[in-house]
Amino acid sequence: MSELRFEQVSVRFGGRHGMTAVDGVDLTVPTGQVVGLVGESGSGKSTLARAAAGLTPLTGGQILFNGQPLRPKRGERRPLQMVFQDPHSSLNPRMSIGESIAEGIPRAGRGGAAGRRSEVQRLLGLVGLDPQRAFSYPGQMSGGQLQRVALARALAGQPEVIIADEITSALDVSVQGTVLNLVRDLQRELNLSMLFISHNLAVVRYVADAIAVMYLGRIVEQGPAEQILSDPQHPYTKDLLAAVPSHRSPSLTPVNADPAVQAVNDAEPTDPHHLPSGCRYHLRCPIGPLVLPGRDICREVDPASDGNRQAAACHFVGELLTSGKAGIL
Amino acid sequence: MAARWLAALKTPAGAVSAAMLFLVLAMAVIAPILWTGQAEEINTRAILQGPSPEHLIGTDSLGRDLFFRLLVATGLSVKLALAATGIGVTAGLVLGVVPSLLSRRIGRLVTAFVNIAVAFPGLLLAMFFAVIFGVGQTGAVLAIGLATAPSFARLTQNLVATQSERDYIAAAKLAGVGKVQRLLRHILPNIAEPLVVTATIGAGGSLLAFAGLSFLGLGVQPPAYDWGRLLNEGLNDIYVNPLAALAPGLAVVIAGLAFNLVGEAVAETLGTPMPVSGRGAAPQRVPQASTAKPYTAAEPSTDGADSKAVLTVRDLFVSFPGPAGPITPVRGVSFSLARGEAVGVVGESGSGKTQTALALAQLVEHPGNVSASRLEFLGQDQLSSPSRARRQLLGTSFAMVFQDPMKSFNPTMRIGVQLAEVAQRHLGMNRRQALARAADRLRAVRIPAAERRLRQYPHEFSGGMRQRAMIGMGIMGNPDLIVADEPTTALDVTVQQQVLRLLSSIKEENHVAILLISHDLTLVAQVCERVLVMYAGRIVEDLPASDLAGRGMHPYTQALLAAVPDMETDRDRPLAVVPGRPADPSQVPVGCAFASRCPKADDQCTREDPQLVEREDGHRVACWHPSRGTGRERVSVELKLHAVALQGEAS
Amino acid sequence: MSIATRFVADATVSPWTGFVARRIGRLVVSLWVLVTASFLMIHLIPGDPVRAALGSSAPGALVEARRDALGLNDPLWLQYAHYLQGLFSGNLGTSMTSDLPVAQVIGDRFPATFEMAGLAFLLAVLIAVPVGALMGVLTRGGRRRPTELAFTSTSIVVAAIPEFLLAVGLVYLFAIQLGWFPVAGRSDANSYVLPVVSMALGSAAMLSRIVRVEMLSVLGTDYIRTARAKRLPNWMIYFRHALPNALTATLTIGGLMLSAMVAGTVLVENVFAWPGLGSTIVASILAKDYPVVQGVVLVYGIGVLLVNLLVDIALGMLDPRSTIKES
């Protein structure tokens, strides 16, 4: 059992003029599963990750590990670990790779200097690095290698849950694949639960069993990966999917003939400091009130998700209206 | 750390200043031991004498020899300055570190206090404390020490705060490392260098401040004497013996400078990145001559259609001086761009794609060096035309769009002014006409409320809007070419699509050629008709975009496609892996630069660099073993192509 | 963040209002700290300040009477209240040596200091901005190494000479040897030259280095590359695009320097026997005339705070981002 559950988690920054980066999120990362979290910059996905790791205090709700709040004491095993985006920033430049990894080994399990050394070597081997690398410094290694080291350090804590925050986006394209393969292998081998955060839907698709889509602090849709990808319900999910280019059908989504739809497509991102009333997506929604008449409910009522496995926070779930007005008239 | 300090001392400025500092410190130790007797010997027959061989800079009102007094005063001057610096650094360090250790509220209070204190100049604080601690040596040490504390505290706070935000601190927290340990093990070692530098410069400052206080009579009191005291006494007699005042002044300046310069020299060395030590598996350096061979491959077929070409470039090289010989990020790039054609340039970081774009735009800055055998834009020879004519043509017909729209607009100028100046400069419009044109262009890139937007500053735009405005600025004239360098990398996926759509509709409507530079193959394929794949400063493949999926012939092109997952990637199979890391432009190997990562590489590949040769109509490849797909069934084709390649070589 | 700031700018109240309110709030807090510190100064002195001022031979009755007159026998909070009350009514107390009101002493001496500091700052800026900007342009991107070396080393050396030592040197050379300017005192325009120059030169050297470094960093930015991509002539790139941005950055440091200059007058005034606040405070400290010291410290402190306020407001006007960046 190593289930991570978010219950009505909220994180707010700043005082009176602050912003709610994460707003009432319910999300479960089941044992041994990978949940992919996608969303644009500013959607709150990284804040959620940091909150889970205890790096950012919650303003509401709770995060439970196997039903219990996570409050590890000094020297204890840390069942939740995190891997960060920028490997150059996530390792202390003045500590050798080996020292950095050794720091993550719980005190109880260290078994003296020799035990610690052999554990570091084992971990380096696990992430496919030469154990001799323990004596190198971060400045002597490439981004891809450093990201492996960061993984090894996370594994040193003998975690059951790993939070991976954009771990491939700082890497060169030819290197990303090796890191993704490694993450997948390790996750399966060690039966880790994982919250995998990325802005790249194709990457998330490749590793995740389930997908949650985040927009302006809310999870607007979640469900099994295949279902989300093949049959998205929320218009934002559809827009995200439509925006992913593919090798095989490399064409831009055409300019929509309907000027109202086009205007919505070209709209600016909504400011997280000044959220609109009603549905947060309505200013950019191709099936919302700016395109279709009579949809004032989107302006007025916030479509809170009803908590089902594949729930979409939209008043008009299931209506195939991406093509425009024709559907409703 | 020690290594870098040593490196600093090896620079001429560092060596001179270190020698100076050593001399001052040595004198401070030795002089009081050796010459105190001479310095304090009262001689009533030699009162207030001028310089003479016996008394090098004269004597004072008690007939004491000023030269020896000057030397002996080094001891007290330096000692007091160091003591004050010690107090200041300690107090500052404590105040600087405390906010990160204590509760948020107390930390805030300390920070606010330091912020207020730091606004007051050191000398004012020193006088304030001098009043409290009383006039005299001890009072002055405390006063100057406490007066330097706030600025040191502020620096420490800032440094601690920057390090605390870095992910390795978060990682240490997750690993269960406590607050104090995080500070001692992680943060302090990483901020020690700038702190030591500042303390060194601060010691020079304390020395001067002490001289000041003593000069005012608030510091060292007779019969003790430091340089400031000597200056104070000497100034009264400046008409009789100017050296009595000037010599201690000079001593203060030299000693202050010694501390200062050592600090500056080290700071300078710290500012430049430390060369990575050669341990580990660094590839061998190759002599430059073999890599910078001039490009002599068969001319591509597009040559014949040059009259229609917007841009033609042959044998483009870009090089920069490096610590160990020139670095050549672009090594012989040749291609043409037809009117209204969209061509993508794809490559990883270090492939030279951005430098290629900058070189084509003639924006490579000193000390970069660009050469080409041919560079033509709209029929104008860019290598020989007068700069005025080039400027005019480029200003109206050649548009650039850069990666980071936030950084690429001037933050203190309104968007409208930044757009309008193009038209004012190159189209001869007046300000009003130019602004009207700017509004029209903003509408053309579908920015709502264009007139209002013109009056706004760049930071009032969102990322996507800013990039549109940047494109709008590019089409202020009537460009024939838009070079866009990673125009969507800084943007969200949905916004990326908006910007790409905009670029391609501008291309369609105005028949503009586009050179789109990106690391993302699939993105380029969405907009472009042709794709140039770059690796280590060369074009390795030039192919129609429609051929990308499955019809690429260079192993690198194939590997790039296979390594990046897309929405159709098989989830049950591991991703294809390109072993190794991208070639380092400062260490390009002999032969094919991709050979060390290529599954097909053989002896020939590591010996000879393959030329870019046309294989099919409009499809050029630089590879000794080009093939479609990766299977063995391609071997025959491969051999045939190989033969063609050899023939091409021979002719 | 950028999206956020955009909307803040569009929000109901002007960002300026908030900025000015915040800034004035900070000024008030700083003033309070300053006033309290100057009040406490006299109480932090170990022993009896009156006894110290009058000397150990003074009769006990006189000391007691003087203590009473200064209100030093009242409880601390009452003294504090009186002090604040006095400040609000412009009463800074009475000098212990001359029996003149402190406010009058300050009023007499203030113009001389203000003139010297103001002229010196003006001169420093007039030298530093053109020189620094020119050096930045000439040595951009690692060009002209020898020029850079000459400029950097000269400016480091000049900046390292403290004002009062430079003053001594200038007096020797131009007053004693050449006789061009008076040795000391404040009379005609000629008498201003040496004090102002000795105050300005070091600051000019330091400021020109800062201007150059800021200019270099601005010239390396993406938006200067954009300006070059627009094929604007060089003078437009340097004057319209680079210089304003370089000066904005310079202003922050320049402000600190200006307030340091206010304090620097203390030393230079003593070299030239300049009848300003600087020579007054030193004489008062030596004479243990604490009410005068308190008053002058307060005036210097307020001067520094006002300079900082002006700099912040100037920054807010020059840089459209800075008002918002703070929040």
* Contact check, Cβ <8 Å, C9/B460: yes
Closest partner CB to B253 (pick from C160, C232, C248): C160
Establish if A274 touches chain C: CB-CB under 8 angstroms.
yes
Average pLDDT on B326-332 reads 91
Do A192 and A291 fall within a single domain?
no
Report how many domains make up chain A: 2
* Contact check, Cβ <8 Å, C4/A17: no
Contacts of C37 in chain B (CB under 8 A): 128
| Region of poorest pLDDT, from A42-46, B190-194, C184-188, C243-247 | C184-188
State the number of CA atoms in the 13 A half-sphere of A318 facing the CB.
Answer: 3
Do A20 and A149 fall within a single domain?
yes
- pLDDT at A37 (0 to 100): 96
Do A204 and A271 fall within a single domain?
no
Residue with the larger pLDDT of the pair C114 and B41: C114
**B324: pLDDT confidence band, cut at 50, 70 and 90?**
confident
**B2: pLDDT confidence band, cut at 50, 70 and 90?**
low
- Give the closest residue to B218 by CA, choosing from C192, C113, C164, C166: C164
- Among chain A residues, the shortest Cα distance to B181 is held by A103
Q: Which tens digit of pLDDT belongs to each residue from A20-29?
A: 899 989 999 9
**B573: pLDDT confidence band, cut at 50, 70 and 90?**
confident
C-alpha–C-alpha distance, residues B583 and B449, integer Å: 47
Mutate to test the interface with C, among B77, B393, B412 (most CBs of C within 10 A): B412
- pLDDT at C290 (0 to 100): 84
Residue with the larger pLDDT of the pair A112 and B180: B180
C-alpha–C-alpha distance, residues C149 and C138, integer Å: 12
Length of chain C: 327
C-alpha–C-alpha distance, residues B543 and B559, integer Å: 15
State the number of CA atoms in the 13 A half-sphere of C147 facing the CB.
Answer: 13
- pLDDT at A73 (0 to 100): 67
Residues B498 and A255 sit within 8 Å (Cβ to Cβ) = no
CA torsion, ordered B527, B530, B535, B539, to nearest 10 deg: -150
- pLDDT of residue B597 exceeding 90: no
**B273: pLDDT confidence band, cut at 50, 70 and 90?**
very low
Average pLDDT on B421-425 reads 92
Peptide bond into A303 cis (omega under 30): no
Find all residues with CB under 8 Å of A30, minimum gap 6, and list them. Answer: A3, A193, A210
Distances (CA, A) of B139 to B83, B127, B143, C289: 12, 10, 6, 18
CA–CA min distance B624, chain C (Å): 39
- Among chain C residues, the shortest Cα distance to B245 is held by C168
What's the pTM? 0.83
Residue A223 domain flag: no
Establish if A271 touches chain C: CB-CB under 8 angstroms.
yes
Residue A221 domain flag: no
Average pLDDT on C274-284 reads 89
Q: Which tens digit of pLDDT belongs to each residue from B600-620?
A: 889 999 999 999 988 888 899
Do A89 and A158 fall within a single domain?
yes
* Tokens 């700043």 belong to residue: A14
Quick one: tokens of A12? 């707010």
Residue with the larger pLDDT of the pair B59 and C209: C209
Residue A220 domain flag: no
Closest partner CB to B494 (pick from A178, A240, A250): A240
- Among chain C residues, the shortest Cα distance to A14 is held by C327
**C287: pLDDT confidence band, cut at 50, 70 and 90?**
confident
CA–CA min distance C25, chain A (Å): 18
At A220, is the secondary structure helix, strand, or coil? strand
Closest partner CB to B404 (pick from C10, C222, C290): C222
Mutate to test the interface with B, among C164, C203, C288 (most CBs of B within 10 A): C164
Residue with the larger pLDDT of the pair B8 and B19: B19
At B435, is the secondary structure helix, strand, or coil? helix
Find all residues with CB under 8 Å of B627, minimum gap 6, and list them. Answer: B553, B600, B634, B635, B637, B638, B641
Contacts of B131 in chain C (CB under 8 A): 41, 45, 285, 290, 293, 297
- pLDDT at A308 (0 to 100): 44
* Contact check, Cβ <8 Å, B216/C282: yes
- pLDDT of residue B643 exceeding 50: no
C-alpha–C-alpha distance, residues A21 and C4, integer Å: 12
Q: Which CATH class is domain B2-42+74-227+252-271?
A: mainly alpha
Listed by number, the residues of chain C in 287-316 with a beta carbon closer than 8 Å to a beta carbon of chain A are none
Contacts of B412 in chain C (CB under 8 A): 244-245, 248, 318-320
Q: Which tens digit of pLDDT belongs to each residue from C67-126?
A: 787 777 788 888 888 888 888 888 888 887 888 888 888 989 999 998 998 899 899 999
Contacts of A184 in chain B (CB under 8 A): 574
DSSP codes of every residue in A92-137: -TTS-HHHHHHHTS-GGGT-HHHHHHHHHHHHHHHTT--GGGGG--
Please calculate the CA angle B150-B154-B158 and round it to the nearest 5 degrees.
170
Do A157 and A242 fall within a single domain?
no
C-alpha–C-alpha distance, residues B531 and B548, integer Å: 8
Give the strand order in the sheet containing A161-165. Answer: A80-83, A161-165, A193-197, A34-38, A210-215, A218-224, A311-312
- pLDDT at B78 (0 to 100): 94
Contacts of C228 in chain B (CB under 8 A): 363
Q: Cα Rg for chain A, rounded, in angstroms?
A: 22
Distances (CA, A) of A77 to A71, A121, A205, B177, C3: 11, 19, 31, 12, 41
* Contact check, Cβ <8 Å, B128/C231: no
Do A90 and A191 fall within a single domain?
yes
CA–CA min distance A271, chain C (Å): 6
Establish if A76 touches chain B: CB-CB under 8 angstroms.
yes
Q: Which tens digit of pLDDT belongs to each residue from A267-285?
A: 777 878 888 888 888 888 8
* Contact check, Cβ <8 Å, C4/A271: yes
Do A208 and A283 fall within a single domain?
no
Instruction: Give percent of chain A with pLDDT exceeding 70.
Output: 88
CATH number, position A78: 3.40.50.300
C-alpha–C-alpha distance, residues A92 and A184, integer Å: 26
Residue A285 domain flag: yes
Mutate to test the interface with C, among B114, B124, B409 (most CBs of C within 10 A): B124
- pLDDT of residue B122 exceeding 50: yes
Q: Where are the alpha helices (DSSP H) in C139-242?
A: 145-160, 163-170, 190-219, 222-229, 234-236
**A16: pLDDT confidence band, cut at 50, 70 and 90?**
low
Length of chain A: 329
> ipTM score of the complex?
0.87
Mutate to test the interface with B, among A81, A86, A92, A236 (most CBs of B within 10 A): A92
**C48: pLDDT confidence band, cut at 50, 70 and 90?**
confident
* Contact check, Cβ <8 Å, A104/B175: yes
* Contact check, Cβ <8 Å, C327/A271: no
Residue A166 domain flag: yes
B588 CB-contact burial (10 Å; exposed 0-12 / middle 13-18 / buried 19+):
buried
A260 CB-contact burial (10 Å; exposed 0-12 / middle 13-18 / buried 19+):
middle
- Among chain B residues, the shortest Cα distance to C5 is held by B460
- Among chain A residues, the shortest Cα distance to B520 is held by A173
* Contact check, Cβ <8 Å, A74/B168: no
State the number of CA atoms in the 13 A half-sphere of B285 facing the CB.
Answer: 11
* Contact check, Cβ <8 Å, B409/C221: no
Domain B308-528, CATH: 3.40.50.300
CA–CA min distance B210, chain C (Å): 11
C-alpha–C-alpha distance, residues B513 and B377, integer Å: 12
Do A72 and A128 fall within a single domain?
yes
Do A208 and A246 fall within a single domain?
no
* Contact check, Cβ <8 Å, B249/C165: yes
| Region of poorest pLDDT, from A177-181, A226-230, A254-258, C209-213 | A254-258
- pLDDT at A109 (0 to 100): 56
CA–CA min distance B279, chain A (Å): 8
C-alpha–C-alpha distance, residues C308 and B117, integer Å: 13
**B372: pLDDT confidence band, cut at 50, 70 and 90?**
very high
C-alpha–C-alpha distance, residues B4 and B111, integer Å: 32
* Contact check, Cβ <8 Å, B121/C143: no
Residues B458 and B406 sit within 8 Å (Cβ to Cβ) = yes
Residues B244 and B57 sit within 8 Å (Cβ to Cβ) = yes
C-alpha–C-alpha distance, residues A28 and A91, integer Å: 29
CA–CA min distance B256, chain C (Å): 7
Q: Which tens digit of pLDDT belongs to each residue from A82-104?
A: 999 998 899 999 899 999 999 98
- pLDDT of residue B282 exceeding 80: no
CA torsion, ordered C283, C288, C294, C296, to nearest 10 deg: 0
C-alpha–C-alpha distance, residues A212 and A200, integer Å: 13
Q: What are the sequence ranges of the domains in chain B? A: 2-42+74-227+252-271, 308-528, 546-651
Supply the mean pLDDT for chain B.
Answer: 84
Domain encompassing residue A26: 4-214
Q: Which chains touch C (3 or more CB pairs under 8 A)?
A: A, B
Find all residues with CB under 8 Å of A324, minimum gap 6, and list them. Answer: A256, A257, A258, A261, A286, A291
C-alpha–C-alpha distance, residues B526 and B502, integer Å: 12
* Contact check, Cβ <8 Å, C6/B460: yes
Do A96 and A200 fall within a single domain?
yes
Residue A306 domain flag: yes
* Contact check, Cβ <8 Å, C266/B264: no
Contacts of A41 in chain B (CB under 8 A): 492
Average pLDDT on C120-136 reads 93
- Give the β-pairing of B309-320 and B327-338: antiparallel
Establish if A16 touches chain C: CB-CB under 8 angstroms.
no
- Give the β-pairing of A34-38 and B374-377: unpaired
- Give me the helix-helix angle, C163-170 and B243-271, nearest 10°: 140
